[in-house]
Structure 1
């Protein structure tokens, strides 16, 4: 009895010692808020606590549906990723139930591939889910190869209890990590901003001022931080305090354009915005002052960009005034025009027409400038733009084609909204040509306009007009086609001589903006069209008509095939003679 009592006492001491060690371990782990340190600590302690050879904490990546391990005790810097439904870890993650396997290779769920890759031999596995307090499984903890035998039920219970605390620590660390990331992001954003940002607390004391703010206000951190805003923005700058007072009272933003500030004897032209700072619970925290310096060069650039392309304004401000005097350069010209615009204007009236054009031009110009194009001018409802000028691009033709495709796709989205609102959709045609053009400031001393002139400009305009004849959305010349480096869905349309010219030009249609519904069976349809075009150019009218009819059979919406059938019928009735070379002379602009 004495011996049993002694053994029981020793057992209780060991149990108490283990439990105290466990509680100290849990306390140590849950106190860690650095996610990287936490993961390392969890794996190290889990391995030691269960006297195992290796342990791994897998977390679920919701974006990729993978379980990944950043830290694995005994794995060094190895990262493991596996689908979150495969293997032992996947089974535990999907079921939310623990697994205790005494002989790993006897379990069909075990994947020995990692053992073969690393040379490690897995004998026993204890794997438990990591579950948040709301019941969501966010990962699994896996411990391998207990020294001295398989894992026991007591080991499983201890690991479950440990993992429950780990989930709390993970949430805390993740929250801290998110807060720290947001803090770093905000600080980096403020540091990189060109606008000055000054924040005030509820007592109007200046709490922060970013680097741009220090530069604009001609001050140092020691001279502005923790000072009363009323003292810093005094004298000729006191109007800012008046703005702050109104914002505090109304809790709405206040914007001042082209205001004047005076610091260290220097006058600063600035756009000033004052915003209220409010907590998520609605408590007033203070105010934020955003200062945009528009002095000197920045002010001139802002003004000039309202009247000309920003790229041109940049060159002028950098001293490249010679570009205004005239310059020959290779560029890709884009012309676009609204179809049936007269009908639209009659329906909409003057105000409705202006509103439509403003909205339409805004959408189209965004597509052009996104690809680095220069908006040359608006001509009524038409747009003229250029790529590769004033700043050269070795892929100017590709930029122009991408812009044209973007314009068409943007127009499709806009038309869907207009149709839903019961409005008439807007249709356009786009023509592109690449050539040497002359650019410069053209006009009279009283009114000058930076623009482009030359045969290349005229051809782009003719191709835009030809879109109506060829039932196309985007037509490009052979000169643009030969410059393309990207891959597009393009078919040759015709050899033409445009009105007012004598030189033959090959014309191509870009099809990338057309959906499967709008142009079904694209490649097969294009192949039949090309066969028809070849027969047409060889003067074999019947064979050409058969090929074009086959194209219509495959794609009943290909009106270009129908146009060629009608042209072949005309040529059959009015033979062109032996001089026929497959060239069509356009009689209209």
Structure 2
């Protein structure tokens, strides 16, 4: 069993790293945009905006998960029952774990978890359980939709001890055809937002669900909603990671195809990107250049362009400068440098 606190902490750290990766990629792409246009090449439409949006979303996501972790520490009720639910960030595993434990918790014959689909604006069954393996498949997804929709709309749990005699529901087709008796349905609410519902029923016993079961399932639903929200957010993180990886591959391919040398530096003069053409021009491999200080690896060049580089940072303008360094690896060279400032998502150099 995973330690939930450690897992959430590791997830937050991973999100922050993804966020840093996204903004670094955006800066790299912005640096290369003008060069690409001059060579008749172009980035995919919206690449920069998408990366910057991903950066903002990831930082917000890290904050949300941190806040959720604080809330989780305050929820001690039903700790033994919810231990499994809160130990996983895999959405399918969480949903199935919730469903199994709900059935055990209230002794239902059938159970469903329904989540709100933001695209269709409908409640959709994502997990279902039934204890009777001989029941027909036609019955599998038949439930009291009126009860579910009422709970999803109001955020209030509904319990009926005998639906056959309950004036609120006894005329419903599903109640009659399935001979439903005990029904309980509670909302899954996260910060005043209804994620879905948990619905359980029993066709055999009257009075199976009462105030005690309602309180129990409501408390469990609060925990389950947090776990489901976390799992959904983590699923989004994984999708974001796949998108960032694809963009990084694209950037690497673009840099490799540029004939001119391309090198980027961070605010501490550390080399953060270095393409194949740079290896040829400077006689220095990417492996030995990356993550090293520019003034240490290529001091002959740094001495000749440092004044212009400082102007680029202070004025946030592009400059062109010529240099004639003598490199240990290449001998005397005549080079033309085009210096451009990096800007972050807030347009700060």
> 2:288 corresponds to which residue?
223
Is 1:155 aligned to residue 213 of structure 2? Answer: yes
Q: Do the aligned partners of residues 229 and 138 (structure 1) sit closer, same or farther apart at CA in structure 2, a change above 3 Å counting?
A: farther
Work out whether residues 126 and 142 of structure 1, in 8 Å CA contact, stay in contact via their aligned partners in 2. Answer: yes
Is 1:125 aligned to residue 192 of structure 2? Answer: no
> 1:382 corresponds to which residue?
none
Work out whether residues 58 and 139 of structure 1, in 8 Å CA contact, stay in contact via their aligned partners in 2. Answer: yes
Work out whether residues 89 and 231 of structure 2, in 8 Å CA contact, stay in contact via their aligned partners in 1. Answer: yes
| Aligned residue among 162, 169, 174 for 1:112 | 174
Counterparts of 1:434-453 in structure 2 under 5 Å?
none
Q: Do the aligned partners of residues 156 and 191 (structure 1) sit closer, same or farther apart at CA in structure 2, a change above 3 Å counting?
A: same
Distance in 1 (alpha carbons) for counterparts of 2:95 and 2:162: 27
Q: Do the aligned partners of residues 228 and 237 (structure 1) sit closer, same or farther apart at CA in structure 2, a change above 3 Å counting?
A: closer
TM-score, normalised to structure 2, is 0.53
Is 1:145 aligned to residue 208 of structure 2? Answer: no
> 1:72 corresponds to which residue?
128
Work out whether residues 229 and 241 of structure 1, in 8 Å CA contact, stay in contact via their aligned partners in 2. Answer: no
Counterparts of 1:178-327 in structure 2 under 5 Å?
178-193=236-251, 194-196=253-255, 202-206=267-271, 209=273, 214-218=275-279, 222-232=287-297, 235-236=300-301, 245-246=310-311, 248-249=313-314, 252=316, 254=318, 273-277=340-344
> 2:69 corresponds to which residue?
none
Q: Do the aligned partners of residues 236 and 30 (structure 1) sit closer, same or farther apart at CA in structure 2, a change above 3 Å counting?
A: same
Is 1:49 aligned to residue 108 of structure 2? Answer: no
| Aligned residue among 151, 155, 158 for 1:92 | 151
Distance in 2 (alpha carbons) for counterparts of 1:166 and 1:61: 17
Work out whether residues 253 and 276 of structure 1, in 8 Å CA contact, stay in contact via their aligned partners in 2. Answer: no
SS in 2 for 1:52: coil
Alpha-carbon displacement from aligned partner over 1:62-88 (angstroms, at most 9, x marks no partner): 22111123333459xxxx999xx9532
Larger Rg: 1
Distance in 1 (alpha carbons) for counterparts of 2:308 and 2:179: 72
The alpha carbon displacement at 1:23 in A equals 0.8
* Gapped regions of structure 2 (runs ≥ 5): 1-74, 132-139, 256-261
SS in 1 for 2:78: helix
> 1:333 corresponds to which residue?
none
* Gapped regions of structure 1 (runs ≥ 5): 1-18, 288-589
Alpha-carbon displacement from aligned partner over 1:429-474 (angstroms, at most 9, x marks no partner): xxxxxxxxxxxxxxxxxxxxxxxxxxxxxxxxxxxxxxxxxxxxxx
TM-score, normalised to structure 1, is 0.34
Q: Which has a greater percent of helix? A: 2
Query: How many positions carry a matched residue from both structures?
Result: 248
Ranked by relative contact order (alpha carbons within 8 Å, sequence separation 6 or more), the top structure is: 2
SS in 2 for 1:25: helix
Distance in 2 (alpha carbons) for counterparts of 1:121 and 1:48: 22
SS in 1 for 2:89: coil
Counterparts of 1:399-438 in structure 2 under 5 Å?
none
